[in-house]
Amino acid sequence: MKQQVVIVDYGMGNLRSVQKKLIKFLPDIILTSDPYQISKADKLLLPGVGHFAMAVKNIIKLGIWDTVNETVLVKGTPVLGICLGMQLMARHSQEGNVNGFGWFDAEVVRFKVEDKLKYKIPHIGWNNVLPTKPSKLFEGIPADSEFYFVHSYHIKSNKKSDVLAFTEYESSFVSAFERNNIFGVQFHPEKSHIMGEKLLSNFLKI
């Protein structure tokens, strides 16, 4: 039976590049903000690039906040958050001082670096992702693989067991987390070539 994979369109960029990558594995990827289609999804993706507070505003304005919450928390639909989409899974963000979905006991904070010549903000480019525990999301991906990042804010988790991977950028930050059916990655798998495609393929199989 064909699974219905839905990318939640809340108007915050980079969604079609994710769709384009996923079409390599499944031809009928749905990009939508329709509550009915979101609620019927077998898999959800929550990508995004941009401002946290604007993303929250858009999701509420579109009338899909409660639908996404119910689909993930009540129905247990697997969901993958990418970059801003991962950050939206946290309780709160410094970017706009607003609350997220609160699926993880975590907050989104701005990078603070001492060596501003060596470590630029935003953090842009390739960096190693180091898993902290086994996961189907990283199955077949070497533990020191590089992925592509673009971000000025990062996740600070209050629950160690939720952390799936970390990355070093002067200091360590959470670059992936996982709990039950909920997955989030700070990097962009859709821009990360072979390893990124492998991760997206792994998610579709979960």
> Which residues have a catalytic role annotated?
83, 188, 190
CA 71 to CA 73: how far, in whole Å?
Answer: 6
Across 124-144, b (16+ Cβ under 10 Å) vs e yields eeebbbebbeebebbeebeee
- Closest to 73 in 3D by CA, of 182, 161, 157: 182
Left if phi > 0, otherwise alpha if psi is -120 to 50, otherwise beta: which for 50?
Answer: left
Bridge partners of residue 184, in order along the sequence:
81, 177
3-state secondary structure of 192: coil
Question: Shortest CA distance to 46 belongs to which of 90, 107, 92?
Answer: 90
With beta carbons less than 8 A apart as the criterion, state whether 8 and 34 touch.
no
Closest among 76, 84, 40 to 58, alpha carbons compared:
84
